[in-house]
Structure 1
Amino acid sequence: MIQAMYKRTKIGCEVLIQQAIDECPISTIKLYISRYYKKNNQRWALWARQHSPLLLQVTSTNSLESYHSELKRTTSSHYGLIGACHKVVALDQKQRTDSEYVAFEFRTKKISVMGLDDEILNEFHKFPYPIQRMLADEICAVENRIEKGKAIPGLTSLHCNCLFFIRYLLPCHHIFHEQIYGPTKLLTTNSWRNFQLMFEESGFEVYFHNELIEVDILEQTKAEKAAEN
């Protein structure tokens, strides 16, 4: 079922769900999967989120649930109304302080990667700190590809169909593999700058409105005809 969640096509997801049902030896679990997973897979599977990088990134509500868990841990039914309010305010202040610290590091902290080319590292440092960490993981994954005997991807443009690129719209380990060992140098000074500009003004909020929009071909044709007239 974990594989089904990360499948990027509806057909592939449904095949894996059916496979899980067929291979499950317990009839009650089979019925549960069929009722609560198979019929509404568009609500939980990532194939239904391919249009939005943000929805691909946010696959859990743990960050929201942690606030309520902490609130339950620090309060009690023995508290009066005023005491409970004080606890809520104290937790809110702690959360705000933590978020301000993270926001400060977002723009100022720099990552260090042993053995990484200084030119590439300097480009990494122009990104927000969380992006630096993700890019570092991707470029380190290139060595894992080589150890597994995988060939150079043969990319000819800064676009990849892997989940990381679709999720974050950033250079992935396939692009880095091509850049470092392939004949095509995709990451030019200008292309690096274009990636960095994504976060310059609004940080991660760039993903809030960055999504693919399906346009009906018939409606598009009518609009074009109206423009011509």
Structure 2
Amino acid sequence: MYSMDDEFFEEIHKFPFPVQQMLIKEIDAVMDRLEKGKCVPGLTSIVYFTIDIYYHANTYFMKLFEENGFEIYEQRKLVIEEIPIQTDTEKKIENRRHIVNELTERMRNKYWSAEEMGASQAEIFVNKLEISLNSIINN
């Protein structure tokens, strides 16, 4: 299970309740994917994901309020976070990790499809998978 600091919730509570629900639902979906070892396309860190959601929701409501005659006063803070530069070796390692995650996810999807077709199909799939993986692992 993952945890979020109080500061994060203080920021989310600034939004109307329906937006809070949307933000939490989106963040929960991403965190569940990460916990399962799945990669999230285009996501470099959860920090940038939350900033992106915050920005889009904030922009939407500012436009909505302005269209309805409300004056908007906002305060912004600039937070600079240094992103470590990856070496070519680190990039290759990261790329291989994403490939393994993708292959694992595709294998799980195939398994669940076979399971839906019945126990005999699932058994055949598992036997083929075991033979294939044993030849790779034991090599």
Q: Between Structure 1 and Structure 2, whose CA radius of gyration is higher? A: 1
TM-score range relative to shorter protein: 0.3 to 0.5
TM-score, scaled relative to structure 2? 0.34
TM-score, scaled relative to structure 1? 0.23
